[in-house]
Amino acid sequence: MLKRRLSTQTITLAISNVGTAGLSFLLAALIGRALGAEGLGIYGVALAWVMPLALIAEFGLGTLITREIARDATRTGDLVHAAVRARQIMGGAATLLLLIAAPLLSADPLTAIGLQISAPLVLIQP
């Protein structure tokens, strides 16, 4: 039973990761086609800022929650609630920081706007 569940979850995770990579590639191709080289460059700059900020906002919570739930599954609801709340606070702060700092990060107005538009991605990145 455990072996079957583990293999099913592993396959599900692999499919999810491949799907995410595929969709990211398609999105980059669509942006490149629709907005040209300059738009794709702005997209690249935005991702270069969003991804590290999302990592900071995540703050290792996924690993912590996994460990704590493995220790005591009866606390799952409380732990997930606390992790989501912490992620919202950290992600909200990082999003606000990027919104405010975007004009300082780039002299190009289009890039600054691209950074501001992409700032909420900090909250939803895995």
**61-110 tens-digit pLDDT:** 989 999 999 999 899 999 999 999 999 999 999 999 999 999 999 999 99
Q: For residues 26 and 96, give the distance between their C-alpha atoms in angstroms, rounded to a whole number.
A: 28
pLDDT of residue 96: 96
Q: For residues 45 and 124, give the distance between their C-alpha atoms in angstroms, rounded to a whole number.
A: 18
Q: Where are the domains of the chain?
A: 36-124
Torsion of CA 31, 37, 42, 44, to 10 degrees: 70
pTM for the full model? 0.75
pLDDT of residue 2: 76
Instruction: Indicate whether 17 pLDDT > 80.
Output: yes
